[in-house]
Amino acid sequence: MKLKERVAIVTGGSSGIGRGICVELAREGATVVVCDIIEQPKQGKYHDRDVMVPTVELLKSQGKEALFVQADVSKEIAVNEVVNKTIETFGDLDILVNNAGIFVPGDIETLSVKTWDQIVGVNMRASFLTTRAAVPYLKQSQGGRIINIASVHAFHGGGGQAYASSKAGLVNLTRDVAIDLAPHGITANTICPGYIETPIQDYLTEEEISNVRDKTPLPRLGLPKDIGRACVFFASDDAEWITGTALPVDGGWLAPIW
């Protein structure tokens, strides 16, 4: 197992991509701290319609060690409590996956300032807060890893002003963190998912989803497991000399010139 005896925090781990990341990290031997604002997984209109079992309960049923910690990761005090609880319970922290993210539809004329602040707070500010809280413990790890989950919308518009901007900012935040922490042997990388089958896609119509599928060069939509396996790679010793990168995991979505 690639991640045996390593401890990971995954924000937004109750549902969707975060849940898939937790499952794959645990499969490779990691102890997983699931951090989310709610423990119950979300059911979607198109995807995850029958997902009922909380992530930690699922992992424990498979013989894995896991812990749920409730937190709004856009709040500094809550983030510090997550890290402190991890250290109190497991004694170490080796991997931080900043996955928590939200999307709210709206254009430049209709998106409120309050909603902008909410999206940027969860999608980018939270990664700064969790990283800052985790760094003292990651420095003590033999393989400190920070993995941020952005989006293909970090490279192009079309995801809404707040969402696309926050994901683009997260990519560059990762690069700066990678530079700062390289002397300590800590790596920081970003994964940029394309369309992944999760409840966050509920705002789309069936026609729009079909159009995405048609425009994805590989002949299927993405699964949370696809992002989970990329996280396993970045978290493992296989990626010990890779840092500051942004990896699209999108079935080839970004490859063509549309």
Give the tens place of pLDDT for each residue, 168-193. 999 999 999 999 999 999 999 999 99
* Cα-Cα end-to-end distance for the chain: 41
- To the query of whether residue 163 is one of the catalytic residues in this protein, the response is yes
List Cα–Cα distances, 171 to 40, 96, 154, in angstroms: 29, 15, 7
* Helical segments of 1-157, H only: 16-27, 55-61, 76-90, 113-120, 126-138
CA distance 59 to 51: 14
Q: Assess if residue 1 is contained within a domain.
A: no
CATH of residue 141: 3.40.50.720
Query: Which tokens sit at 103?
Result: 């999307």
User: Is position 256 within any domain?
Assistant: no
258 falls within a domain: no
- Does residue 2 lie in a domain region? no
Q: In total, how many domains does the chain have?
A: 1
- What pLDDT, on the 0 to 100 scale, is given for residue 48? 87
pLDDT at residue 258, rounded to an integer: 66
For residue 195, being part of any structural domain is answered with yes
| Angle ∠(142,147,151) on CA atoms, nearest 5 | 170
The residue ranges of the chain whose pLDDT is under 70 are: 258
What DSSP element (H or E) covers 232? helix 224-235
Catalytic residue, from 46, 137, 163, 203: name it: 163
Note whether residue 227 is domain-resident: yes
Element (H, E) at 48: none
Task: Please enumerate in sequence order all residues whose Cβ is within 8 A of that of 117, keeping only pairs 6 or more positions apart, or say none.
Answer: none
Per DSSP, the residues of 184-229 read GT-EEEEEEE-SBSSGGGGGS-HHHHHHHHHH-SSSS-B-HHHHHH
The parent domain of residue 64 ranges over: 7-249
Closest among 104, 127, 137 to 176, alpha carbons compared = 127
Tokens 């969860």 -> residue: 122
Task: For residue 231, tell me if it sits in a domain.
Answer: yes
90 occurs within a structural domain = yes
Six-digit token string for 136: 């003292």
